[in-house]
Amino acid sequence: MGKVYMPKAKIKSVVVTGANGQLGSELQQLAPNHPELNFTFVTRQEVDLNDSNAIKSWFADKQFDVIINCAAYTAVDKAETEPDLAQAINATAVATLARIAKDQQCSLIHISTDYVFAGENYRPYQESDSTAPQGIYGASKLAGEQALLKINPPKSIIIRSAWVYSQFGNNFVKTMLRLGKERSELGIIYDQIGSPTSARDLASVILSIVHHPKLETLTGTEIYHYSNEGVCSWYDFAKAIFNYSGIGCLLKPILTKDYPTPAKRPHYSVLNKAKIKHDFDITIPYWQDSLKECLNSLNGK
């Protein structure tokens, strides 16, 4: 998991939205290791993030020290035909949570994405780099960031992540494991470059940040980047999944233009993590090491 900061602080009450998603599920797995935190996990069935009044009503008689917003509309291609729903969940709901955090003077930790960038950089993206999303999903996530920064609740952060996978939910790793067993040959894109992110590692870092004294010193909302260390293409990622899982399916590298999708993806979205490593005293695991851990969990090892 890498080095994380462990607490000597008071017991904190923490609410996690999107509790059944990849990141929310990993936080639920780690929660028993943190008895100094009182967790409340909230699913979309309990709070409809498409309804701001429902969100405000749910929080009306509750007080938390930290809100961790893992909920998001993440169907990148489907968002192109459902822009209103993507905007409601990824932006309007975030604004509502930001106002609640400001009113309650609690921390809001919100998860965003590398898709806020155009993907035309030549070096890892820093938090201060210009944003230019290429699709509805990225635009809705950027709108959520902008709303949060405008409302600017204290002790709050935005964490942009990328290529998130987990033993839970639907993701690239689980899709490759399934297709690799069903087919003899697969074409995988090799001209999109990024860094995979283990949702388990991201969850561990979030919990470390909850404890860290640096969080309490923030007067408003800060942006941070987090993914696992290292760089690869989707082809490299798939190749590693197959190699570690003993899958013999033949992989062929293909260009993005040979696999058209409704939403345009960034060609290069490697994130610079220097700021989060410095401010919160963390070391970040290499992507292949974390991939092996996830595959072991999926295989029951």
Q: How many of the other CB atoms lie within 10 Å of CB of 27?
A: 27
- Catalytic, out of 73, 125, 137, 224: 137
Nearest by Cα to 192 from 231, 220, 243, 144:
231
DSSP-assigned letter for residue 125: B
Q: Which two tokens stand for residue 19?
A: 């509790």
Q: Helix and strand tally (H, E) in the chain?
A: 11, 12
Do 68 and 18 form a contact (C-beta atoms < 8 A)? no
* The two structure tokens encoding residue 208: 């470390």
Q: Is 115 a catalytic residue?
A: no
Q: Strands 12-17, 66-69: parallel, antiparallel or unpaired by DSSP?
A: parallel
Judge whether 136 and 86 are in contact, CB under 8 Å: yes
Residues that are catalytic:
137
